[in-house]
Amino acid sequence: MFSNPSHLLSSPSTILNTLTLTHTHTIKAIIDIDGNNWSARFPYLLCTNSIIIRITPDFIEQQYTSATATTTTTTTTTTAPSTNAVFPNVHYIPASITNLTSVIEHVINIQNDIQIQEIVQNANDWCVQQLTKDVFINNAITTLDMYQQALVHHGVMDDNGRVGSGVDNIDDLVECNV
């Protein structure tokens, strides 16, 4: 796939050919690495017949605060918030740059095939339930409602949806101490 065949890419490499999303269904594992801030392709990768190895981002993507639900497979039990969220080791395999090699070895080990197939099935089930027109519309409306609530809370908008004088008092340039 790369012009530099060495296992460790110590020099620049060029991608020789790429795969379409349709062709990813024939691959055992796909490594997903976020771009600038998030991965738009990640939810769609969960719809493939491949295990997704996701490089864990260095930031918190979302916070889920609803009640918990327990998911049990033959190899693991995971308790997680009951939302439309996806969870490590339930829907995908988490990895980092430092442990990626060992995660790949785990995924390709034939002794782990049942666990991998369960995770792929969980991801596919999530995909069927969550990537629908109704869920998309509901999520969009919920996001807009939360945005409006935030504007009301900060005095930018009143309860009737009218923009008030609070707009002048907002300083959206906040120093980052990270």
DSSP string, 38-70: --TTHHHHTTSSSEEEEEPPSS------S-EEE
* 150 three-state secondary structure: helix
> CA nearest 118: which of 147, 75, 78?
75
Q: What is the pLDDT of residue 8?
A: 54
Q: What is the pLDDT of residue 63?
A: 38
Query: Is pTM, for the whole model, over 0.85?
Result: no
What are the per-10-residue average pLDDT scores of the chain (178 residues)?
51 66 78 73 89 79 38 44 77 93 95 97 93 88 85 71 57 63
Q: Where are the domains of the chain?
A: 22-124, 135-169
Residue 125 · residue 138 · CB < 8 Å: no
Q: What is the pLDDT of residue 29?
A: 93
